A and B are shown apart, each in its own frame.
Chain A
């Protein structure tokens, strides 16, 4: 703070991140625990324990829905692997693999979001010419390394369990001669068909990863430039990064929405919402910012980032606070219109979630709005490391549940639950994410020392 002068040469004393054998051992332990939980959970499922939904198979289930004004809403959902009342209609018996595939899809989409938001954070900071984030820039810069992994996982899941996740993959639905013919889905078939879906998914991951590599390459090249003063007069890598950032933002503006339609909204094939792209983006963004804040705070706790002050943490806290409210705004805008218009084919989406996932539906708003709004409102709570840590963990967990609520009702409905498999998968994904980002973080200086705005970040004060 006041009076303490930091010079650029001090930065060389900053300890670089090391992927220590201790951390590696901890991560391996986590992976072993995750796999063990997964295997035990699957074995238990095969004995019929924890799979859920058995008590709901009774014939009386459908009747409960018919009484209200919304009875008609269930009719279009009735066929296929999907929604609410339809399952009693004699579709094939529930198999545990389906729940596993959907669980993997849920985690895959969620962690893809954290990865791509890391790239997005770097990109919009270049575009906004923001200097304060320079000291912590290397953290979001590593997140994109996780994209190829989730990309492969999502594609594999689509090949293996595509029909379990998306019932539009059933081609008989768009065949007028078939008894399964569904007029609404047939109308969407030019967009929702397997080849085009695959092309799009590969395109998203390809473009995101390409732009990530280019941004990362420029950042590393900039670091290797020896003469800071000579370099800073001609910040060629910085300028190029700005161009790549602009290109990425344009790509992401479109693909973030379309990815949300493809990967999540098309699960409830009949239903659509024009807010959905933004809704999922907001959820991703809050999670990404919370993850960045958590990384900074944890690494600072381990003695890295000596020059990152409470001012930087304050700004990250503000991001979590502000975009939690933004998420709520989007969530509510989507909800209010559907609630107010009260059209059966629209309300079915929320009806299903309120009746079958009632606790989660309301808890979602508490953990993702009330909690960050009230908890992060004061200045101190955005500046104290331990409080930011609590808020970040709560928000990440909350948005994981938000994605759960987006994906589960339309796929496995009453068979969804939290068991050993869900915990095991989450542990695996978290351990994998930390492994990939930590090894990338260890490969470069933890502070981009030749970044032209490094000084602005050093003196950042709010």
Chain B
């Protein structure tokens, strides 16, 4: 993220124009960096050809870490370091460990996923968010095309392609 890239940014008004445009622009061989929409647009992920997210696997790993941590911690504390007689139970009463283990699993996976989100979106304290056009949080669909990764097409060609497929204003160049 350190080196800034040059992007061409096209703005769309209507998702019914956006979806075919995404499909046709990809057919011309232009790689779309990403599309930012104010609300979830159905099928946009399939039109953009996204791969399956690995977030689920990350969540599972964080959860498994939480489970292991909790069981290790409680077993060590209550079973070995300082055994305590609680209600006449064994020193390692498995049912008693379940609530804490469950909570630790949820906690670690939730915190881990927040961290994953911040890292993957390049957010967090001191980071500047990548925002191609602030109106993508308002009412516009914003398509960003990375010029450095589309060496087959010149900048003018890409602008022409965008205009052909229904952008509502002159595409502009942004460096981020």
Contacts and interface: CB of A to CB of B under 8 A. Distances in A.
A233 B95 CA distance: 56
Interface stretch (B42-50, B71-79, B120-128, B143-151): B42-50
Given A2-B43, A459-B42, A332 B98 contact: yes
A379 interface: yes
Interface in A1-31: 1-3
Interface in B89-112: 89, 95-96, 98-99
B172 interface: no
A127 interface: no
A31 to B, nearest CB: 44
B95 A461 contact: no
Interface in A187-203: none
Main secondary structure of the interface of A (DSSP, over half): loop
Contacts of B47: 2
B95 A339 contact: yes
A297 B23 CA distance: 32
Contact of B96 (A69, A340, A377, A378): A340
B144 to A, nearest CB: 21
B95 A335 contact: yes
Interface string B82-94: 0000011100000
Contacts of B52: 379
A342 B88 CA distance: 9
Contacts of A461: 42-43
A335 B98 CA distance: 12
Interface string A373-404: 00001110000000000000000000000000
Nearest to B43: A2
A340 B86 CA distance: 9
A339 B99 CA distance: 14
Interface in B45-68: 46-47, 52, 56, 60
Contact of A336 (B23, B87, B88, B98): B98
B42 A379 contact: no
A336 B95 contact: yes
A317 B95 CA distance: 28
Contact of B87 (A335, A340, A377): A340
A2 B60 CA distance: 29
A57 B118 CA distance: 67
Given A461-B42, A461-B43, A379 B56 contact: yes
A342 B23 contact: no
Interface string A337-368: 00110100000000000000000000000000
Contacts of B99: 336
A342 B141 CA distance: 61
A340 B88 CA distance: 10
Nearest to B60: A377
Contacts of A378: 56
B98 to A, nearest CB: 6
A362 to B, nearest CB: 12
Interface in A321-342: 332, 335-336, 339-340, 342
Contact of B46 (A2, A339, A377): A2
Interface string B21-40: 00100000000000000000
A1 B42 contact: no
Nearest to B44: A2
Nearest to B52: A379
A69 B87 CA distance: 13
Nearest to B96: A340
Contacts of B87: 340, 342
A439 B56 CA distance: 42
A378 B59 CA distance: 12
Contacts of A339: 95
Interface in B132-167: none
A459 B52 CA distance: 20
Contacts of B96: 336, 340
A379 B99 CA distance: 27
A378 B60 CA distance: 10
Interface string A430-462: 000000000000000000000000000001010
Contacts of B56: 378-379
Contact of A1 (B46, B88, B89): B46
Interface string A91-117: 000000000000000000000000000
A247 to B, nearest CB: 34
B46 to A, nearest CB: 4
Nearest to A69: B88
Nearest to B57: A378
Nearest to A377: B60
Interface of A: 1-3, 69, 332, 335-336, 339-340, 342, 377-379, 459, 461
Interface of B: 23, 42-43, 46-47, 52, 56, 60, 87-89, 95-96, 98-99
6 contacts: A3-B23, A69-B88, A336-B96, A336-B99, A339-B95, A461-B43
Given A1-B46, A3-B23, A332-B98, 12 more contacts: A69-B88, A332-B95, A336-B99, A340-B87, A340-B89, A342-B87, A342-B88, A378-B56, A379-B52, A379-B56, A459-B42, A461-B42
